[in-house]
Amino acid sequence: MSRHWLKQSERGSLFLIRLITRITLLLGRPAGRLLLYPITLYFVLFSRKARNASRNYLKRVLPQPIGLRHIFRHYHTFAATILDRIYLLSGRQDYFNIDIRGETRLLEQLKDGRGCMLLGSHLGSFELLRSLAATHPDISVKALMYEENAEKINQVIQALNPEIADMIIPIGRPDSLFEVQEAVERGEVIGILGDRIALDDKQVKVRFFDQTCRFPAGPMLIAGLLKIPVVLFFGIHQGGRDYTIHFELLTEGFHLDREERWQQITEWTQRYANRLEHHTRQAPYNWFNFYDFWDETGNTPK
C-alpha cells in the first residue's frame, strides 16, 4: 500500500530539483543554467544509483555503448527542464520558443464543452501546459496527481503562482474522481500522467520497447467510464530555450464494455505506450523516469 517509488526512487532527483530551484530563484536563469553543468557533473559522478538508472535506460534505447557523457547529457536535460519549470510556473513562457503541433486536435475536442483528458507522461515537461493557459485563458486545466507529490510540488508552486495550486486534484481519496467528473461536466481539461504506477494501482501489461511492461490502467478506465476524448500531450525539450509540444488525438471517447473491459483498456493503453515509445525514440534524453521502468515485480525501484 506504500507509494514506494514516490518516496524512494526520486530521493536523488528530488535533491536535484530542490537545489536547482533554490539557486535559480536566488541568482536567476543565466546563473542557474551555468551552474547546471557542475551540479549535473557532481550528481553523475557521485550518485551511483542515479548513474545506474540512467545507464540501464539508455542501453535500451540508444544503439551505441553508453558512456559517462551520455549519462551526463541525460541528467543535464532533466536538470534544464527543472530550471525552466520555475519560469513556466511563474508565467514566463515568453522566455521560451515553443513550437506547438496539433493544437487544433485539442481545441476540436473542447468545442462542444464536453471536456477531455489530456494524457501526458514523464517524457519532457508537462509544465509546458502552462503556456496553454497564456494563449487560451478560456481553457481550464486540472491536474490529477498523488497527494504526496501534490504537497511537495505545492510548496514550491504556492510561492511562485498561487493560482496553480487550485488546479490540482489530489488522487487517492474515495471521492477524488467525483471532482474529475464534475470538472469534465463543466467542459474542463483533466491532465494526467499515464506512465508511472503506484503499487496498488490497477495495471495492464503492454509492449514497450520490445518488452512487456506494466502501465497504469487508471487513465483509460477513467476515460472509458466518463466517455471522454483523450488527447495525448508530449512537451519535448529540444535544448536551450526550444520546446516542442505535440497534441495527438488518441480517442474521441469509447464505451466500456462489461465483458471486454480489460481487453479494451489494454488496447487503448497499448496505443498510448506506442506513442510514448515513438516520442521517446525521437527524444531519448527527455525520459525522466529514473528507476527500473520495466521491473516485472511491479515497477517498484529497489
Partner 1 sequence: MLENEVATLIIETLNLRVDPSSIDPQAPLFTEGLGLDSIDALELAMSISKKYGFQLRSNDENNANIFASLSSLSKHIESCRTT
Contact positions vs partner 1 (CB under 8 A): 1, 171-182, 200-202, 218, 221-222, 225, 258
Nearer to partner 1, 111 or 258 (CB): 258
Nearer to partner 1, 99 or 182 (CB): 182
Distance in Å, CB of 217 to partner 1, minimum: 8
Distance in Å, CB of 200 to partner 1, minimum: 7
Sheet strands side by side (includes 242-251): 97-101, 242-251, 230-239, 116-120, 189-193, 141-146, 168-171
Compute the half-sphere exposure of residue 147: CA atoms within 13 Å on the CB side of its CA: 7
Nearer to partner 1, 128 or 184 (CB): 184
DSSP helix/strand/coil, 114: coil
Closest Cα to residue 74, out of 97, 96, 48, 50? 50
Instruction: Give residue 62's region: left, alpha or beta (phi > 0; psi -120 to 50).
Output: beta
* Bridge partners, residue 247, by sequence: 233
Nearer to partner 1, 110 or 144 (CB): 144
Distance in Å, CB of 93 to partner 1, minimum: 30
Distance in Å, CB of 127 to partner 1, minimum: 24
Q: 557542475: which residue's cell?
A: 38
Distance in Å, CB of 174 to partner 1, minimum: 4
Cβ pair 172, 144 in contact under 8 A:
no
Distance in Å, CB of 172 to partner 1, minimum: 7
Distance in Å, CB of 84 to partner 1, minimum: 32
List Cβ neighbours of 45 (8 Å cut-off, separation of 6 or more): none
What's the CA gap between 157 and 121, in Å, rounded? 20
Nearer to partner 1, 11 or 173 (CB): 173
Closest Cα to residue 55, out of 67, 40, 45? 67
φ and ψ of 299, to 5 deg? 65, 15
Cβ pair 10, 290 in contact under 8 A:
yes
What is the identity of the amino acid at 270? Q
